[in-house]
Amino acid sequence: MKTGLTWKIVVIILVLIGATIFFVPNVKQISWWPTKDKIRYGLDIQGGLYLVMGVDVPSVLKESTTRLALTLDSMFKEKSLNVVSVKRDDNSLNGLSIIIKMGAAGEESAVRDLIEKNYGTNLQILNVSGTEITLKYSDLYINDLKKRTIDQSIETIRNRIDEFGVSEPSIAAQGESRILIQLPGIKDAERAKELINRTARLEFRIEDTSMSKQQVAQIVADAEKTGNYTIKSMKYSEYVKKINADIKNKLPQGSIVLFGKNENALEISAGKVPYLLKEVALAGDSLKDAGVAMSQDFNEPYVSLSFNADGANKFAQVTGENVNKNMAIILDNVVYSAPNIRQKISGGNAQITLGSGRDYNAQMSEARDIAMALRAGALPAALEQLEERTVGPTLGMDSIQKGIKASYIAATLIVLFMLIYYKGAGLIADVALGINIFLILSILTALNATLTLPGIAGIALTIGMAVDANVIIFERIREELRKNSSNKAAIEIGFDKAFWAIFDANICSAITSLILMHYGTGAVKGFAVTLLTGIVTSLFASVFVTRTMIELLIDKVGFKKLSV
């Protein structure tokens, strides 16, 4: 056997062994087998959940502006500048402007220099009028913040879904303020939706004692009566927005009303307790970890929180400045507790209690979900479910059976055609076709790819295209045989001269597949992945494997003539 033929056979054997290692888990799970992953089926095959979520980006921009105003105010005080107040201008366009009121016009230059030095790339000075300076974020910074909000939301949702245990979720941005979520094969769709929709936005606010709880409760009741609505008649998030909009002029500037749950109530709608709260003192973006712990007194679960170094310092500062005041611990605009600060709290630890009087399992489940959401990361913005579709597995199985049936029919017809038309050479091409399909499935398994209906269509198309290379080669061999070339010479010329025509045709298809993979999403991307995989395996099987088999039959087995 020639040396060149030997290394070709070795390469084919090694490729088939590697493909077998990855393919076997699709047929049978073996405990000692080196690979465990199987081909995953997409949403359209095995069923699952399809969601389109809207992201409340404007609220993030407003909150960022509010925090910036507080930061600027602290910075001016540290520099001992004569600044009376720094507030976000609610009356400005989108509420994204900041008004700085100075005690004297002579402070303008120092304030301007400090802003340009620390926020020169993020802030623009819109107007200077007397003792007032109006600022706003630059358009570049706003666009960057919007993108970061969407990207962070996607990453947070992905982390939560990973903890929930869904294989191969598809989570992608859709436009400037939407996120598309596909969860194939999910068993508990309702709990997954609850986990995704939980914004897990953790906040710490100091309670505003300038008004009593009775006064706040009366203001809320009057607003409900005037507007003819209650907390039971709408979503909690919508209720909070509406009630604060209606009573805004009756509250101290910068304060809002949020609600906690009465100890004896199962739902907040059955027993709400109003809290008048100041602006955010500390947010959950400094959170390091969250877990479930048990109270020693009543053996009830609660969520334990720990902050990173920066968060711990802020927490110590906030508690030190507000001794003997109540600090509300808020998750998703719900007040879970409002303990009194007896002394400065160092170490950066806090806890969320869930109330008593409820079923232990219900409390434990809620504590776990809260801890899971906080560990995965707080969403930077509230989500609104815009669209939901549930794909049943029955429809998916029906579709995959039809796709498999179409592939079988296509493969059978091709095998018969090659056998009848090209005889012995056709048999070799059919063996190469089987190897080709085997390699496609093995590569998809190795890549942890998700097989969708368009992906099955891509495989069916590949089967149809797989023998094209052999047809070109065999026709070229026939031409050489008609010129009375020897059998061996005809085979060599046929393969050598046909290769570049085959390569050119496939490289064009490969480029198209790469473009579809880069710009396409969902179904288009699934089709492109299987098609590109099929192109690579077809070149290997139809050219390399076929030629090696023919050379082996002639050189080793002793065939004098190839029937083409």
pLDDT of residue 373: 64
Collect all residues with Cβ–Cβ distance below 8 Å to 51 and sequence separation of at least 6: 180, 181, 182, 183, 193, 196, 385, 387, 388
Cβ atoms 73, 199 nearer than 8 A: no
**What HEC string does 218-286 produce?**
HHHHHHHHHHCCCHHHCCHHHHHHHHHHHCHHHCCCCCEEEEEECCCCCCHHHCEEEEEEEEEEEEHHH
Tokens matching residue 337: 């507790």
- Do the beta carbons of residue 46 and residue 74 sit within 8 Å? no
φ and ψ of 346, to 5 deg: -100, 165
Using alpha carbons, select from 400, 504, 518, 527 the residue that is nearest to residue 454.
527
| Structural domains in the chain, sorted by start | 3-47+392-557 (1.20.1640.10), 48-177 (3.30.1240), 198-389 (3.30.1360.200)
Q: What is the pLDDT of residue 21?
A: 94
Segment (H or E) for 81: none
- Stretch (H or E) spanning 124: strand 123-129
Question: 18-54 pLDDT, tens per residue?
Answer: 999 999 998 888 888 888 888 877 777 777 888 899 8
* Nearest-10 crossing angle of helices 57-78, 139-164: 120
Q: Specify whether the CB–CB gap between 40 and 529 falls below 8 A.
A: no
Sign of the dihedral through C-alpha 150, 156, 160, 165:
positive
Listed in sequence order, the residues at least 6 apart from 260 whose beta carbon sits closer than 8 Å to its beta carbon are 268, 272, 273, 275, 328, 334, 335, 336, 337, 338
Do 415 and 453 form a contact (C-beta atoms < 8 A)?
Answer: no
Q: Which residue has the tokens 């269509």?
A: 457
Three-class secondary structure of residue 406 per DSSP: helix
- Point out which residues pair with 389 in neighbouring strands: 50
Tokens of 397: 């199985």
Q: Cα–Cα distance between 412 and 414 in angstroms, integer? A: 5
Q: What are phi and psi of 294, to 5 degrees?
A: -115, 135
- Note the pLDDT of residue 392: 67
Alpha helix locations (H) across 384-467? Answer: 393-446, 453-466
What is the value of pTM for the model shown?
A: 0.56
321: amino acid identity, one letter: E
pLDDT of the residue at 17: 95
In this prediction, the residues of the chain whose per-residue pLDDT falls under 50 are none
* Residue tagged 């699952």 (tokens): 48
State the Cα–Cα distance between residues 85 and 89, nearest whole angstrom: 12
Residue 319: the pLDDT is 86
State pLDDT tens for residues 385-420: 888 887 765 555 676 677 678 778 877 888 899 899
CA-to-CA dists, residue 358 to 193, 290, 300, 303, 334, angstroms:
23, 22, 10, 16, 18
